[in-house]
Amino acid sequence: MRVIVTGGAGFLGTLLCRRLLAGPVGLGGARPTEVSRLTVVDLVAPTDDVAADPRTEHLDGELSRTLGDEADAVFHLAGVVSGAAEADFDAGMHTNLDGTRAVLEYARGHAVPPVLVFTSSLAVFGSDPALGPVGTVDDDTLPRPQSSYGIQKFIGEQLVADYTRKGFVRGRSVRLMTVSVRPGRPNAAASSFLSGIIREPLAGERAVCPAPPDMPVALSSPDRTLEGILRAAEVDDATWGSRTAMNLPALTTSPREMTAALDRVAGPGTSDLVDWVEDPAVVAIVGSWPPRFETPRAHALGLHADTSFDDVVRAYQARLP
């Protein structure tokens, strides 16, 4: 079984690659099978442990170039993140829109349509200035993206739906919540601070929170996010159901509640390393995203939100060297 992961050298991509290499995986309702070849498509090399597996190959280049032989499944995670897509419109369109279509066209050429999982985002929802706040989002809420990134992701969802309707792919789009806590250094995502205000203080470093302390946000831990991506690939077409993208479950919290959890888990005063300096540009993007979700469709697939942010911090802390 050959599996392709675009963006496979990124944080979520690496977690996914490790899981795919670790043991049998079921695709589209089929019996779980070992991955015989894992193709990591990314501009940077995969991590040493993923690269060391003899089943791994690395394709370094544009998504518009060939992805090689036919695959049984494609996980399309590659993309220009929210803040970067807003700052560089052309880069966002090239990767998030043109790149997604290139991946779909590659899959369209297969003799047997592959399972294709597209990672979309809660950024497809936004507070339309003419309509006001979104309120609680459910499975039927109409997306109204308020950023270039959100627009590009929503278009990607529609492309996946139409290629699926035409029988070119067995597509499943999942809308990810903001993932926290991410390891490593900050990235260009507008929501990057939602990891930084935990990650940096735990490392003894200062962090900046550019959002109001009580601004509600929707989060998901890396483990719950990976679980949702894999579950989308595993189920058969009838169980997956609608071609419409599925919202993954969310934990609703706020920066103030997050730093309080940090102090409870890591010790009082740990959050003193967080500087509260509001950035209107960040608030305009992240603050437009809905913080509350009802996700019965995901629940029916056995997916659930994290129970508390304290548990998320503990899980991150347990992985620290």
For residue range 152-206, what is the model confidence (pLDDT) as tens digits? 999 999 999 999 999 999 999 999 999 999 998 888 788 999 999 999 999 999 9
> Which residue in 106, 149, 163, 316 is the catalytic one?
149
At residue 189, the pLDDT reads: 83
CA–CA gap between residue 101 and residue 13 (Å, rounded): 19
pLDDT over 80 (residue 79): yes
CA–CA gap between residue 308 and residue 306 (Å, rounded): 6
Cβ-Cβ contacts under 8 Å for 55 (sequence gap 6 or more): 21, 35, 36, 37, 38
At residue 63, the pLDDT reads: 76
At residue 98, the pLDDT reads: 95
Expressed as residue numbers, the domain containing 297 is 2-319
**% the chain with pLDDT above 90:** 88
Cα separations in angstroms, 73 against 50, 91, 278: 18, 26, 42
Q: Any catalytic annotation for residue 149?
A: yes
At residue 129, the pLDDT reads: 87
Which CATH number do you get for residue 257? Answer: 3.40.50.720
- Longest CA–CA span in the chain (Å) reads 59
At residue 186, the pLDDT reads: 80
The domain total for the chain is 1
